[in-house]
Amino acid sequence: MIIILKQGTRPEDTENLRRLVTSHGIIIQDIVGETTSMIGLAGDTSQLSEDDFVRFECVERIIRVKESYKLAGRSFHPDDSVFDIAGRKVGGGNFAVIAGPCSVETEEQILSVARDVAAAGAKFMRGGAFKPRTSPYAFSGLGLDGLELLKLARAKTGLPIVTEIMSSEYLEQFEADVDVIQIGARNMQNFTLLRQVGALKKPVLLKRGLSSTLDELLMAAEHVMAGGTRDVILCERGIRTFETATRNTLDLSAVPVLKQKTHLPIIIDPSHATGYWHLVEPMALAATACGADGLIIEVHNHPEAALCDGAQSVTPQVFKKIMGKVEKIREAIA
């Protein structure tokens, strides 16, 4: 529901209106246009009728919003969101590249990769401290020790940290130490975790589930935003189809479709989408050309010896080459 206010309405004129809305547990989102001011309502508005609002002199008219995702949708937020994360902007024409190894393995490894991706132009550093693995016997990360190594790499390079949370057990540590909290594909519909992470009011990178629709992705974002944060970055990382030539099927049509539906930034993960390092470059270039707001790329200094996903990791040299081509494409489509 959107409440359109009469021209000239002052903030103090809406105090009683806001009090009514919040008393029903509904979230308020202010929407300011060039000539019109509006109030967006997110939550269960079925308990309120238009008659409850027309008695307020400041109200001009009411619009019902059909989409279930209110906070994530463009109806409440017509302009692209731009997030400033540790001095690095994401969205609204600010292209953000996140790079680093699938898993943090050693101090030498993470420092080497962090320095290389920073020199090549990456804005953020990724690295898994906790890793969800299909096999219970596969390397599943260093845990909190890995997080300490990520912090060391941030101190040495200045790159903000992007890393995945697996359990609410570590909410306190992630709140204190992580710049962008990643929700992985397997946890996209872990609604309890989404709300808990949202309550931290820190930037969140939300990956699309393996078999999730775009509307389901947006509803997952709505859970995070309803929890408290407004800084949510969506990530298309490939979905499961019948095709076996690649690890997943990269859905690049998600970018223009999501651009119509949401104001949130959208980035592409060509590493997980394809599963092979030699496919990362062409898909990264295609993602840039179709209007994505950024990329997240796995980079390892010795992919052949990587403890996790070495086959899809590019070397720092290949990453630098990709970054150069990405910049040329951005210039061409500007």
Considering the domain boundaries, does residue 260 fall inside one? yes
d(CA 26, CA 231): 20
Whether residues 54 and 138 share a domain: the answer is no
- What pLDDT is attached to residue 10? 80
- Shared domain for 207 and 309, answered yes or no, is yes
279 and 195, same domain (yes or no): yes
Identify whether 72 is part of a domain: no
- Percent of the chain having pLDDT more than 70? 99
- Is a pLDDT exceeding 80 seen at residue 329? yes
Q: What is the mean pLDDT of residues 303-321?
A: 96
- For residues 226 and 302, state if they share a domain: yes
For residue 306, the model assigns a pLDDT of 93
Q: How many CB atoms lie within 10 A of CB 224?
A: 27
Check whether residue 49 and residue 140 sit in a common domain: no
Instruction: Please give the helix or strand (H or E) that residue 259 lies within, else none.
Output: helix 254-261
- Mark whether 7 and 93 lie in a shared domain: no
pLDDT in tens, 43-60: 877 777 777 887 888 888
pLDDT at 334: 85
198 and 250 both lie in a single domain:
yes
The secondary structure of residue 31, as a DSSP letter, is E
Q: What number is the average pLDDT over the span 228-253?
A: 97
Check which CATH number belongs to the domain holding 34 and give it. 3.30.70.1140
Asked if residue 257 belongs to a domain, the reply is yes
How many separate domains does the chain show?
2
Instruction: State which of 30, 63, 96 marks the end of a domain.
Output: 63
Same-domain check for residues 28 and 99? no
* For residues 4-21, average pLDDT: 84
Distance CA 320, CA 130 (A): 27
Residue 157 placed within a domain:
yes
What is the average pLDDT across 136-158?
91
Chain-wide mean pLDDT for the chain? Answer: 93
pLDDT band at 191 (very low <50, low <70, confident <90, very high): very high
Total residue count of the chain as it appears in this document = 334
- Verify that 41 and 148 share a domain, yes or no: no
| Residues 42 and 179 grouped into a single domain | no
Residue 119 belongs to a domain: yes
Q: What is the DSSP string of 163-213?
A: EE---GGGHHHHHHH-SEEEE-GGGTT-HHHHHHHHHTT--EEEEPPTT--
CATH of the domain at 238: 3.20.20.70
Residue 34 pLDDT grade (very low, low, confident, very high; cuts 50, 70, 90)? low
- Cα angle for residues 123, 124, 127 (degrees, 5° grid): 150
pTM for the full model?
A: 0.88
255-272 pLDDT per residue, tens: 999 999 999 999 999 999
Please report which confidence band the pLDDT of residue 40 belongs to, taking 50, 70 and 90 as the band edges.
confident
Note whether residue 73 is domain-resident.
no
Kindly report which listed range (31-35, 44-48, 69-73, 327-331) carries the lowest average pLDDT score. 31-35
Q: What is the pLDDT of residue 31?
A: 79
Domain membership flag for residue 70:
no
pLDDT of residue 133: 74
Q: Do 264 and 216 lie in a common domain?
A: yes
DSSP string covering 92-108: TTB-EEEEE-SB---HH
* Residue 238, pLDDT above cutoff 80: yes
Answer yes or no: is 77 within a domain. no
Helix, strand, coil percent content, the chain, rounded in steps of 5: 40, 20, 40
Residues 130 and 254 in one domain: yes
In tens, the pLDDT along 85-125 reads 999 999 999 999 999 999 999 999 999 999 999 999 999 99
Domain ranges, residue 8: 2-63
The 10s digit of each residue's pLDDT in 194-231 is 999 999 999 999 999 999 999 999 999 999 999 999 99
Token readout for 144 is: 């909190």
